[in-house]
Amino acid sequence: MKNLLSKEIIYQLLAEVPDPEIPVVNIIEMGMVRDVNLNSDGVEVFLCPTYTGCPAMDMIDTMVKEKLAENGFVNTVVTLVYKPAWTTDWMNAATKEKLRVFGIAPPVGKASSKKGMMNQEMVACPQCKSTNTQIKSMFGSTACKSLYTCTDCLEPFDYFKCI
C-alpha cells in the first residue's frame, strides 16, 4: 500500500519536470515516462528519449533526480528505454493544444498510420490556424521540428514533426 502511494507521488513529481525545449509541457505529457520502479534501494525511472541524440536528455536526467531528491527520494536511477521507440502518438490532444498555444504547430495525424510519408500533412498555422502554409526548412530550431511559414499571416513557426 505504501509503495503504491509512493509511486503515485513520484508520478506527480515527474509531472512537475518540464520538457526543457517546450517548457509548457512536462515529461509525462510528452509520453516519455514509461515506468517507475520503487524498491528498498531507491527509485528507478524508465524514460523513453523523444528523438535520438536529443541534447535535452542529459538535462532531463538531472532534473528528474533533483526533483525527486528535493522530495526525499535521494537514490534515483534514470534508465533510458529505446524500445518501443518514442512516437508523437503518445501525446494526447490536450498536450498538442498546449504546443499550439505555445506557438509550435503540433504533429498532425498518427505516426503509426502513415509510415514513409514525411511532411505530406496539412500543417496548420498555430497563430491563425490557416492551412495555407509552406515548409521552409526540414530543420527548425531543433532537429525534431521543421520550419514553416504561414502564407496568410506571414508568421514563421516551428512544426513538431510527426514520428
CB of 133 to Zn ion, least distance (A): 7
Closest approach, Cβ 136 to Zn ion, in A, equals 14
Residue pair 119/146 in contact by the 8 Å Cβ criterion:
yes
Please say which residue, 14 or 150, places its beta carbon nearer to Zn ion: 150
| Grid cell at residue 113 | 498510420
The minimum distance between CB 88 and Zn ion, in angstroms, equals: 22
**Least Å distance between CB 132 and Zn ion?**
8
Nearer to Zn ion, 73 or 157 (CB): 157
Task: Tell me if residue 73 falls in helix, strand or coil.
Answer: coil
Nearer to Zn ion, 117 or 128 (CB): 128
Which CB, 34 or 100, lies closer to Zn ion?
Answer: 100
Q: Please say which residue, 37 or 127, places its beta carbon nearer to Zn ion.
A: 127
134 class by beta-carbon count within 10 Å (0-12 exposed, 13-18 middle, 19+ buried): exposed
Here the cell at position 143 is: 532537429
Beta-carbon-side half-sphere exposure of residue 107 (alpha carbons within 13 Å): 20
The residue ranges that bind Zn ion (CB under 5 A) are 125, 127-128, 130, 150, 152-153
Q: Shortest Cβ distance from residue 157 to Zn ion (Å)? A: 8
